[in-house]
Structure 1
């Protein structure tokens, strides 16, 4: 009898998904912003999505990310710096600005972001995906979310 060690070996990813949130957000805002931010990553980079799920009864469930999402927090300046580093490394990214708390739909969200120059966005969160080392550099100075 042989055992399949590939099934029990730890999985290490050469990529990372990370979100940085502004530390002054309310709990509901943190959850909402995180959900919105990560929703965009799989649309541009389908390799971040794993296989569909099914329970023992055969009930199907949607696929999810194939790897953990690391959530960080920092000051407004730390979020802005992370955004700039993500841009300079051309990493896939999503942004959430404070203006989006006042909108109620995707069209208005996009219009709110489009109305502000990139260096003036009032960022409350940024999500990035890419090579581990590059994402680690983007998140430099941020701390893990408690």
Structure 2
């Protein structure tokens, strides 16, 4: 069998994995680069605890060194203005999607207790959101992100 046929046979036996869910992060488009990275890291950190099925198996290299498991599917990162962020937040909540939020107030706190207190101090509709992560059915997440664009 030639390599072309072998490659095609291997692809047929192991078709690409398609997920019926989506993990997405939405960042406000006016953040500094360091803020975008920080917000993304914080937001996705909660998804595995709320939706353990998004976590894959642990990794191991050829020498047998063990590494932590990671998400089993891609994380798509989007950006949008403040108005679209507010609409996306409302859509995510109305669809009961697993959601994490990061508000502008969290840039001024230095620990988990103060972070949670800062969010608790503001009503849902008045949160100054700079980022959010959502996980759920692909079509529902797509509707939540309407108006947002892929992060460059």
TM-score, normalising length: structure 2: 0.92
User: Is the partner of 1:95 in helix, strand or coil?
Assistant: strand
Question: What does 1:12-51 align with in structure 2 at a 5 Å threshold?
Answer: 12-51=18-57
- 1:86/1:13 CA distance change after superposition, 3 Å: same
Q: Structure 1 CA distance, aligned partners of 2:13 and 2:120?
A: 46
Q: Which string of whole-angstrom CA distances, capped at 9 and with x for unpartnered residues, describes residues 84-114 of structure 1?
A: 0000000000000000000011110000000
1:64 and 2:63 correspond: no
Q: Structure 2 CA distance, aligned partners of 1:63 and 1:80?
A: 32
- 1:10/1:86 CA distance change after superposition, 3 Å: same
- What residue number does 1:74 align with? 80
Deviation at 1:8, TM superposition (A): 3.2
- What residue number does 2:132 align with? 126
Q: Structure 2 CA distance, aligned partners of 1:42 and 1:130?
A: 13
Deviation at 1:9, TM superposition (A): 1.3
Higher alpha-carbon deviation: 4-13 or 95-104: 4-13
Moved over 6 A (4+): none
1:141 and 2:147 correspond: yes
Q: Kindly name which structure, 1 or 2, has the bigger radius of gyration based on alpha carbons.
A: 2
- Paired positions, count: 146
Gaps of 5+ in 1: none
Gaps of 5+ in 2: 1-5
TM-score, normalising length: structure 1: 0.96
Deviation at 1:6, TM superposition (A): 6.6
- 1:113/1:51 CA distance change after superposition, 3 Å: same
Q: Structure 1 CA distance, aligned partners of 2:47 and 2:95?
A: 16
